[in-house]
Amino acid sequence: MTQATSEALGREAVEAFSRQRSEPDWLRASRLAAWTRYVALPKPTLQDYGWRRTDIRALDLDRLLSEAGPAAGVAAPAALDATIDESTERAGLLVLRNGTVVRRELDEGLARRGVLLMSLSEAVAERPELVREYLSRPQSGGATETKFDALAAALWNDGVFIYVPRGVEVAAPIQLVRWNDGAAPALSQTLVIAEEASSVALIDGYGAAADRPESLGSGEIQVVTRPAARVSVAVLQERDLQSWNFIGLRSVQERDSAVAWLMLGLGGKLSRTELTCDLNGQGSEADLVGLVLGQQNQVFDLESLQNHVGDDSRSDLVLKVALRDSAASNFTGMIRVGKSARRTASNQENRNLLLSGQSRADSDPKLEILNSDVTRCGHGATVGPVDEELIFYLMTRGLTRQQAERLVVEGFFESILASVPLESVRDRLRASIERKLEQ
């Protein structure tokens, strides 16, 4: 089958998919344009910049895209229920199973003040004036768009929309739970819009059935902050060890706004995260924090861009990685200070802890500074094994080596876990980390 034939058949399927969902013409056109880009964009190889240490030759996109099937049963499985933290701390909850909303809660007071928490499909039908600008761009990813970005834009079936009106402060976090146990790829789009002087914290969790066959996940979370808005997003990736995961995180920030990204990677066969913070407004700020715990043959890949455009902007990145068995991680970070971005303050730090002789961590932090009016700009990276003297000291206090290593790793991660907004989620993550370290 030629590429032209494949594209034609794919376009027919995309168009049928959109019509089945009764989508407007503008969204159908956007999906078709994204599919055209998906077909045209090559699958990344080890020769491509940014993918030199990410080997995806074993990923059969055509086969995984052809996989389809219903979820295993109608009732939500116990494993899904276990990921939902029944807590009065949260302001809202949205649970999606294989892209379908199965539970939704939102504080009545916030709903009366105009806060929206809904699936993206509902937003397209009910509030198109809020989402069309972000879903109908002909080249949504621009020059940096990958094949996986275009695929998610063409065929997303799991979407979330959160809107916070001007001046509204959402005091407690909003929790999203996404669960996949069907055979179809998990393709998602999330849009968060925080209007002027508003604030919201979001916990976005991804899980899957442990016995699920090889699968594909791809998606994007886009955060738009108006002047003086504050948004915090915690992305918890706890998928099964047979899944290939590709996600793009992007924040576009106006004057005096602040965004905090918290990325926690525990699951997946291979997980690649591409994070871009566009600090366009004067005084905008971004904090990027990541935690990765890898085991067996897991691969984690993070590529970040702290893009300073406005004056007096600040961004700081801290990524901590611990690896066991034959797990591997790659970090490629760029701080870019534009010609007009005066008095920029920025830093990136990557710390890697190797718990076995077979694990591997690569770190490549970079700076691109295009003007001389910089307040602070730097980077640092370390890769090394566990401190044997510390392990020996703990063992002299009666701990086994496994217990000593677990204590060291838990201490290594504690400062990051402490920043998770919900206490119940913090406790669940600590338990997940403890289980992985005991395996």
Question: Looking at the predicted structure, is the pLDDT value of residue 71 above 60?
Answer: no
Distance CA 32, CA 18 (A): 9
Residues in the chain: 439
Do 159 and 121 contact (CB within 8 A), yes or no? yes
Find the mean pLDDT for residues 111-123.
97
Rounded Cα–Cα distance for residues 426 and 432 (Å): 10
Tell me which H or E stretch contains 19. helix 3-20
Q: What is the mean pLDDT of residues 275-293?
A: 96
Helix (H) or strand (E) holding 363: strand 360-369
C-alpha distance across the termini of the chain, in Å = 45
Whether 284 and 310 share a structural domain: yes
- φ/ψ of 93, rounded to 5, equals -145, 135
Averaged pLDDT, 360-386: 93
Q: How far apart are CA 282 and CA 152, in angstroms?
A: 32
- Comparing 228-232, 309-313, 425-429, the range with the smallest average pLDDT is 425-429
Are 27 and 144 within one domain? Answer: yes
Confidence of residue 69 (pLDDT cuts 50, 70, 90): very low
Closest CA to 109 of 201, 177, 172, 197: 172
Do 189 and 311 belong to one domain? yes
Tokens at residue 222, please? 């886009």
Structural tokens at position 203: 């916990």
Give 285 or 86, the one with higher predicted confidence: 285
Residue 261 and residue 397 in one domain? no
Instruction: Band the pLDDT of 141: cuts 50, 70, 90.
Output: very low
* pLDDT digit string, tens, across residues 378-410: 999 999 998 889 999 999 999 998 889 889 999
Pair 381, 436 in one domain: no
pLDDT score, position 138: 52
Check: CB of residue 327 under 8 Å from CB of residue 301. Answer: no
Last residue of a domain, one of 352, 371, 388: 388
Contact between 120 and 162 under an 8 Å Cβ cutoff? The reply is: no
Q: Which has more confidence, 423 or 316?
A: 316
With beta carbons less than 8 A apart as the criterion, state whether 288 and 316 touch. Answer: yes
Which tokens sit at 107?
């504080």
| pLDDT of 4 higher than 50 | no
Give the separation between CA 160 and CA 301, rounded to whole angstroms. Answer: 25
Indicate if 405 and 322 belong to the same structural domain. no
Judge if 305 and 418 occupy the same domain: no
Cα–Cα distance measured from residue 262 to residue 434, given in angstroms and rounded to the nearest whole number: 20
Whether residues 192 and 292 fall in one domain: yes
The model's pLDDT over 290-341, given as tens digits with 9 standing for 90+, comes to 999 999 999 999 999 999 999 999 999 999 999 999 999 999 999 999 999 9
One domain, residues 334 and 400: no
How many folded domains does the chain comprise?
Answer: 2
pLDDT at 439 over 50: yes
pLDDT exceeds 60 at position 9: no
Q: Supply the pLDDT for residue 5.
A: 37
State the pLDDT confidence band at 8, using cuts at 50, 70 and 90: low
Same domain (yes/no): 249, 394: no
CB 89, CB 423: distance < 8 Å: yes
Is 156 found in the same domain as 254?
A: yes
Using a cut of 0.85, tell me whether the model's pTM lies above it: yes
Q: Which of 345, 372, 388 is the last residue of a domain?
A: 388
User: What range defines the domain where residue 401 resides?
Assistant: 389-439
Residues 323 and 397 in one domain: no
**Percent of the chain topping pLDDT 70:** 93
Residues 235-265 have pLDDT tens digits of 999 999 999 999 999 999 999 999 999 999 9
Q: Which position has the higher pLDDT, 199 or 417?
A: 199
188-202 pLDDT, tens digit each: 999 999 999 999 999
Q: What mean pLDDT value characterizes the chain? A: 90
pLDDT at 73 over 70: no
Return d(Cα 206, Cα 177) in angstroms, integer. Answer: 6
Identify the band that residue 46 occupies on the pLDDT scale cut at 50, 70 and 90.
very high
Q: Who wins on pLDDT, 184 or 253?
A: 253
- Residues sharing a CB contact under 8 Å with residue 394, sequence separation 6 or more, in sequence order: 403, 404, 407, 408
